[in-house]
Amino acid sequence: MCGIVGYCGEKNAAGILVEGLKRLEYRGYDSSGISVGFNNKLTVIKKKGKISNLQAAVPKDLPGTYGIGHTRWATHGEVNDLNAHPHSDSSGKISIVHNGIIENYIALRKKLTAEGVEFITETDSEVIPHLISKFYDGDLEKAVKECLKHLKGTYGIVAVHADEPCRMVGARNGSPLVLGIGEGEMFLASDVTAMMAYTKQVVYMEDGDVVVVDKTSFRTTDIRDNERDKQISTVGWDIGEMEKDGFPTFMEKEIFEQPQSILRGMKGRLDIDQGTAKLGGLNMTNRELRMVNRVIILAAGTSSYAAMTCAYLLEKIARIPANAELSSEIRYKNPIVDPGTLYFVVSQSGETADTLYAMRELQRKGAKVLGICNVVGSTIPRESDGGVYIHSGPEIAVASTKAFTSQLTAMYLFSLIMARMRDMSMIDGKKIVEAMAKLPDDIETVLKLNSHIKDIADKYADCHSFFFLGRGLTYPIALEGALKLKEISYIHAEGYTAGELKHGPIALINEVTPSVFLVPDDSLREKIISNMKEVKARKGPIIAVAVEGDKEVEDIADDVIFVPKVHEVMYPFVMVVPLQMYAYHTAVKLGRNVDQPRNLAKSVTGARMPASA
């Protein structure tokens, strides 16, 4: 989604802003722009398309040591230079960048137009600089606060004024905003990645915060001037983790990082002696955990498939009724909150609007909601009642890969804790601990299949439609495999439980519609093999992901990807990685933009309901 970066300091602002915007590219955008202040004048440059277009339009020697920049993902008004941010007031003295949606912009626009203001864009955001201008009497902070009182909706905003050099005013309500504290320089951005090259000292803004920043200091208040205390945090990862490290794309790099990211997520959390795990952030006593009689896990997209896998696992090993629900559904469904139910929200970004608002809705009804997130300091971990960081490290590619296996890791640990508190013996617990500890090596083995998987992907890259089929624990993995292929190759793919095939979808099987079957060595293996035969009988090509040495599957399938034999509940890990690689190679073969697929954004923050609603 849209990205914000603001800078004030001693250096050339234009260069820093464009570089910061490039770091935000991964969020998804369709245009970008900057506004730089110098000699009581703001220079605004905006361009449709890639940031390279903007970069080409910005003069190398553009003077100015403060300014703001933005990557836009269009919501109101078509994608063109004019609708890109920053937006200005009629005098050109005020520039703003805005993430979020101003819900009452039509009424505000009408009112301002009647007062003589001329609007030049189709955006909701343009009302902001005009409102600030209306209230401006020499104090930008005061004018921004007055403006905010008239806005309904969500925002992360940064504003600058030509007559107040090296000063930025930021505000947050529903869209992330982070302050970066450097040596004689300050940053405001929607995401720490924009400023990581300069500082790791950050302050996360909260809803209702207004922050006023100059080169060396900042002050945070609410809209009515009441001081708000802030804590400075240190970002726990390095800028190097945001580089491609010799890989052609971030997605491939992130797929190959999984042995390390899974290991990080388990570090210090496995208890080998007791055959269980430890998760410090749950904020729950053992007694409280034992009282839980149901678990509901909410998430969107890939995170929802991690949630679904873990709901299966919880029922299987801990014998607790568990369900995964889509946050976009729960959010509008008036959920029934039961006191014995423990709720989780799973989100890589920690900012997904549907998940965040679903969480708030549940909390409003008295639920205890724990978060499983990757981005430290993001909104969900800050507002949840406890939870677990997955420690995946920054995930830049829009298509989630390593965060998925890290989400599984965190929730497997939780499931193990719950299982050991109930039915599971120490011996069985130890088997799971050992199997988890071995996962990084198992994933390394799978990664060695890269060129074999590439060959298979190349062979079927011209097909227009795919099925992905699994059962039980690998059913959500089939859904994830289909989503991965769709997102980055734009090939139609459907994930199904293999048992459902004969209830309708089998009508679509023909010689040119491949089915990818997941065949773990578990109690459902025979069932899946029958489903493979149903497809074979209808001449459907079969790609199987099976366990090393499975001759029967090899005989039926046209192509096989053999994964190592693992503990029966660990197949989701070793089977999802080949599917990620499969989607990746197909997309590369078709010449797609793997890291930034069309129409998608890394973090879907198109929020419509403010925190206070």
531 in Cβ contact with 474 (< 8 Å): no
**Shortest separation between residue 400's beta carbon and ligand AGP, angstroms:** 4
Q: Residue 223 and residue 208: Cα distance in Å, rounded?
A: 7
Q: Residue 83 and residue 99: Cα distance in Å, rounded?
A: 13
Q: Which of 11, 14, 22 is nearest to 59 (CA)?
A: 14
Q: Which residue is nearest to ligand AGP (CB)?
A: 301
Of the two residues 31 and 378, which places its CB atom closer to ligand AGP in the complex?
Answer: 378
For the question of residue 365 being annotated catalytic, the response is no
For the question of residue 602 being annotated catalytic, the response is yes
Of the two residues 95 and 603, which places its CB atom closer to ligand AGP in the complex?
Answer: 603
Residue 399 per-residue DSSP state = S
**Shortest separation between residue 270's beta carbon and ligand AGP, angstroms:** 24
Catalytic residue among 48, 368, 486, 602: 602
Q: Residue 197 and residue 16: Cα distance in Å, rounded?
A: 10
Q: Which of 472, 458, 474 is nearest to 514 (CA)?
A: 458
Of the two residues 112 and 251, which places its CB atom closer to ligand AGP in the complex?
Answer: 251
**Shortest separation between residue 487's beta carbon and ligand AGP, angstroms:** 6
Q: Residue 315 and residue 119: Cα distance in Å, rounded?
A: 57
Catalytic residue among 2, 166, 310, 373: 2
Q: Which of 87, 83, 134, 138 is nearest to 112 (CA)?
A: 134
Of the two residues 303 and 409, which places its CB atom closer to ligand AGP in the complex?
Answer: 303
Of the two residues 6 and 393, which places its CB atom closer to ligand AGP in the complex?
Answer: 393
**Shortest separation between residue 585's beta carbon and ligand AGP, angstroms:** 16
**Shortest separation between residue 552's beta carbon and ligand AGP, angstroms:** 33
Q: Residue 512 and residue 459: Cα distance in Å, rounded?
A: 12
**Shortest separation between residue 401's beta carbon and ligand AGP, angstroms:** 8
Within 10 A of 104 (CB to CB), how many other CB atoms are there?
14
Q: Give the H/E segment covering residue 276.
A: strand 276-277
Of the two residues 258 and 349, which places its CB atom closer to ligand AGP in the complex?
Answer: 349
**Shortest separation between residue 120's beta carbon and ligand AGP, angstroms:** 33
- Strand intervals (E) in 300-340: 322-326
**Shortest separation between residue 501's beta carbon and ligand AGP, angstroms:** 24
Q: Residue 564 and residue 524: Cα distance in Å, rounded?
A: 17
Of the two residues 35 and 304, which places its CB atom closer to ligand AGP in the complex?
Answer: 304
Of the two residues 299 and 501, which places its CB atom closer to ligand AGP in the complex?
Answer: 299
CA distances from 399 to 51, 253, 257, 348, 506 (A): 20, 12, 14, 11, 28
Q: What is the DSSP string of 116-174?
A: T----SS-STTHHHHHHHHH-SS-HHHHHHHHHTT--B-EEEEEEETTSTT-EEEEEEB
Cα-Cα-Cα-Cα dihedral sign, residues 369, 370, 371, 377: positive
Of the two residues 348 and 474, which places its CB atom closer to ligand AGP in the complex?
Answer: 348
**Shortest separation between residue 263's beta carbon and ligand AGP, angstroms:** 21
Of the two residues 162 and 588, which places its CB atom closer to ligand AGP in the complex?
Answer: 588
Angle at 457 between CA 456 and CA 463, to 5 degrees: 110
Residue 534 per-residue DSSP state = H
526 Cβ contact partners less than 8 Å away, ≥ 6 residues apart: none
Q: Residue 439 and residue 415: Cα distance in Å, rounded?
A: 17
Query: Which stretches of the chain bind ligand AGP, using CB under 6 A?
Result: 300-303, 347-349, 352, 355, 398-400, 487, 600, 603-604
Q: Residue 500 and residue 394: Cα distance in Å, rounded?
A: 37
Please give the radius of gyration of the chain, using alpha carbons only, rounded to the nearest integer.
25
Q: Residue 67 and residue 165: Cα distance in Å, rounded?
A: 9
CA distances from 334 to 354, 361, 383 (A): 14, 8, 20
Q: Beta 369-373 vs 387-389: how paired, if at all?
A: parallel
**Shortest separation between residue 363's beta carbon and ligand AGP, angstroms:** 17
CA distances from 153 to 98, 141, 572, 607, 608 (A): 12, 20, 40, 8, 6
Active-site residues: which are they? 2, 602
